[in-house]
Amino acid sequence: MEKSHKILRVGHRGAKGYAPENTLASFRKALEQRVEIFELDVRLCRSGELVVLHDDTVERTTDGSGAAADLTLAQLKKLDAGHGEKIPTLEEVLELTAGKCGVNIELKGEATEKPVAGIIARSVAEGVWTYGHFLVSSFDHEKLRQIRELDPRIRIAPLVVEIPKDFLDIARGLRAWSVHVAKENLNQENVQDFQRAGFKVFAYTANSASEIGRLKTLGVDGIVSDYPDRI
């Protein structure tokens, strides 16, 4: 029997099953599908802006080449990220969404912690957003420790593929809000262990009906999907 609690629908890089990933078109699609949260990736480009891009290079997702860290925002904006879409900045995505849903910011690349914390604080100060809208995640748990030191009001989430034996201790030490785990490594026992310890459990990335159904049965708190309307 499926658990009756609310399961958050998390759009992976927007709604990347329907539009080019991490583009404004993808985030608009996620909003149309009424996601509670969408997930995106940020890294710094050469001119210092936070751009929304998963890979360290632009080859896979655009018609360009090179490392994002070696390209200025002006150079990145000349690239086609799919169907004429451009690589957005984090500020552009937040302007588009304007507090309509939560935003899970995954830290990529180097030195993203301080600018992300600054953008979140400014967004909240402007009054449209609250700290409850934001969640910062990373596979690099040291980056999350730095976010915690920069602004303890920001909710954080350690990402893992396989679950290390000391993961509960890691999450407690970070004072994490949620833990994000590859779907295949979640089971009834570890989901309940995390929840009993006070953490939300997000599973990534589930696209098929069977995957989504299994995770619902496990009672996870959030499911990350390229097709958030399937959740």
CB 128 within 8 A of CB 95: no
- Residues 6 or more apart whose Cβ sits within 8 Å of residue 28: 14, 19, 96
Return the SS3 of 47.
coil
CA angle 165, 218, 15 (to 5 degrees): 95
Identify the helix (H) or strand (E) that includes residue 174: helix 167-174
Determine the Cα–Cα distance for residues 158 and 105; give it in Å rounded to an integer.
Answer: 12
> Which residues are known to be catalytic?
12, 54
Determine the Cα–Cα distance for residues 147 and 84; give it in Å rounded to an integer.
Answer: 34
